[in-house]
Amino acid sequence: MFGVEGASSETTEPSRLILASASPRRRELLGGLGIPFEVVVAGVTEHEAEDADPRLMVAHNAALKADWVAARHPEAFVLGADTTVFLDSTVLNKPASLLEARRMLRRLAGRTHTVFTGVALRHVHRGVRIDEGVTSEVTFQAFDDATIDRYFQVVNPLDKAGAYGIQEGRELIIDRWNGSFTNIMGLPMEVTKQILTQVGLLADSKPPAASK
C-alpha cells in the first residue's frame, strides 16, 4: 500500500457513490459489495509513458478520473482507479494491437512483474480526498507463441494493461501471484472496502470486541 491522505466531515446530504470508470471488471468488483452506485466515465486523457514511475502514474491517473467526475458531481462520493504492469523499469499499458499484445506477453513469459493500482476517492462538498495504492506480483509460466495463440482465443488482451487478464484463461499463462488478486484485476477490494468504510459508505465489518 502507498500514499494515504484523507478527510471526511458529516453533513445531512444523502450519500451517493459514483464509479468513475468504463472498466467492466471494476464495475463487477464494486458491485460485489452490495452498495448502490452509478457509473460516470471521466472524459480525460490518461498519462501513459513507458518510462513513467508506475506508482506516480497510476496515482495521477486515478486522481485525474475521480477529480473530473467529482467536479461535475460535487455532492457525490466518486471512486477512480488506474492499473498498470511494470517489468524491467518499463510500464506496460494497454497494447494498441494484437502484435503489441503478443510482444508484451513474450516479454512477460517466465518472469515476475509488478501490478500497480492507484485508487482515489473524492467528495467535493465534504472535502474528502483519499489516495491509495496497491502492488501485487505476478509470475508467468515460460510459454511459447502457440500458447499465446490459444490465449488470444479466450481473452481479449487489448483492453488490459500488460495484455492479459488474471481473471480469465490464467491456467494458460500464469504460474502464481502474490498479494491482492483484485488489485491485478483493476480494483483492490481490500483497500477499497477500507476507504468506503472510512467515509461511512460501508459498515465496519470488524467483529465487536468481546465483552468480559
Q: Is 175 annotated as catalytic? A: no
67, 82, 144, 145: the active-site residue: 82
Closer residue to ligand TTP, CB minimum distance, 22 or 35: 22
According to the binding rule CB under 6 A, does residue 118 interact with ligand TTP?
Answer: no
Asked if 39 and 21 count as a contact pair (C-beta separation under 8 A), the reply is yes
Q: How far is the CB of 158 from ligand TTP (least distance, A)?
A: 10
Name the residue nearer to ligand TTP (CB basis): 8 or 109.
Answer: 109
Asked whether position 82 contacts ligand TTP by CB under 6 A, the answer is: yes
Q: What is the total count of residues that contact ligand TTP (CB under 6 A)?
A: 25
Residue 90 or residue 167: which is nearer to ligand TTP going by CB?
167
Q: Which residues contact 99 (CB under 8 A, 6 or more apart)?
A: none
Restricted to residues 138-177, the positions that interact with ligand TTP (CB under 6 A) are: 159-162, 164-167
Minimum separation from the CB atom of position 114 to ligand TTP (A): 10
DSSP string, 118-161: EEEEEETTTTEEEEEEEEEEEEE----HHHHHHHHHH--GGGSG
Closer to ligand TTP by Cβ: residue 130 or 161? 161
Instruction: Return the residue of 17, 18, 25, 86 that touches ligand TTP, per CB under 6 A.
Output: 25
Contact 87, 111 (CB under 8 A): yes
The Cα 195–Cα 71 span in angstroms is: 20
Which residues touch 212 (CB under 8 Å, ≥6 apart)? none
Q: Would you mind telling me the total number of residues written for the chain in this entry?
A: 212
DSSP 32: T
From 32-40, 81-89, 95-103, 204-212, span contacting ligand TTP (CB under 6 A) = 81-89
**41 near ligand TTP (CB under 6 A):** yes
46 vs 75, beta carbon nearer ligand TTP = 46
Q: Cβ of residue 205: shortest distance to ligand TTP, in angstroms? A: 25
User: How distant, in Å, are the alpha carbons of 11, 64, 91, 99, 142 from that of 67?
Assistant: 20, 5, 23, 34, 41
Angle between helices 189-198 and 24-31 (to 10 degrees): 60
C-alpha cell, 144: 511459447
Q: Is 115 in the site for ligand TTP (CB under 6 A)?
A: yes
* Active-site annotation, residues: 82
Q: Contact residues for ligand TTP (CB under 6 A)?
A: 21-23, 25-26, 41, 46, 65, 81-83, 85, 94, 115, 159-162, 164-167, 184-186
